[in-house]
Amino acid sequence: MFTKNSIQVGDKAPDFSATAVYEQEFKQVKLSDYLGKYLILLFYPLDFTFVCPTEITAFSDMYNQISSLNADILGISVDSEYCHLAWMQLDRESGGVGDLYYPLVSDLNKEISLSYNTLSNEGKSLRGLFIIDQDGIIQHILVNNLDVGRSVNETIRTLKAIQYVQNNPDEVCPANWEPGQSTIKNSPTQAKEYFKSI
């Protein structure tokens, strides 16, 4: 018998409740608040670092496009809510993130990072990205090391592919698929039509 040591795609996303900062205010957020929407969980190491603000602001800059896909974002690190607030109150040119279109969650006790298996040996969150569907099921997991930032465009492409196959369960998306491109019928005989066309 196989035993699982951590969460994986297809599992129910671990619920949590925590303090977040949004629009310069503290608020409580729960994962379950987002049921009915897709959710991008964006774990990152620490505020006031170097790669982190580039990711946090890049996702905020693309927020309207993500929101148009019935999706939302939560940024999560092991910093306190007060640290998040100070980071948001600092402009981008000075190493801050300024106003964001989505909340930053405080995981000071590291329980959320532990439950999503993103906590590093040094006690920081790795660059974990999770796409959770409308039913609270994990559909995508990506984890980078601390020195490598993630791609917002690839996250959006993956989200669109997940939504497409959920709405078209008899089809699958090939490598580098973009909306409007051919998919593969989920059948040994019908799949050949796709491979004949490439």
Residue type, 120: S
Which of these is catalytic: 52, 83, 100, 126? 52
Q: Which residue has the tokens 């994962």?
A: 31
> Is 52 one of the annotated active-site residues of the chain?
yes
Q: How far apart are CA 33 and CA 29, in angstroms?
A: 7
92: left (phi over 0), alpha (psi -120 to 50) or beta: alpha
Q: How far apart are CA 20 and CA 26, in angstroms?
A: 6
**Whether 55 contacts 127, CB under 8 Å:** yes
Q: Which positions ≥6 away from 196 have C-beta within 8 Å? A: none
Q: Is the dihedral of CA 165, 139, 145, 67 positive or negative?
A: positive
**Tokens coding 28:** 């409580």
Residue 130: phi and psi, rounded to 5, are: -125, 130
Could you give the residue numbers annotated as active site? 52
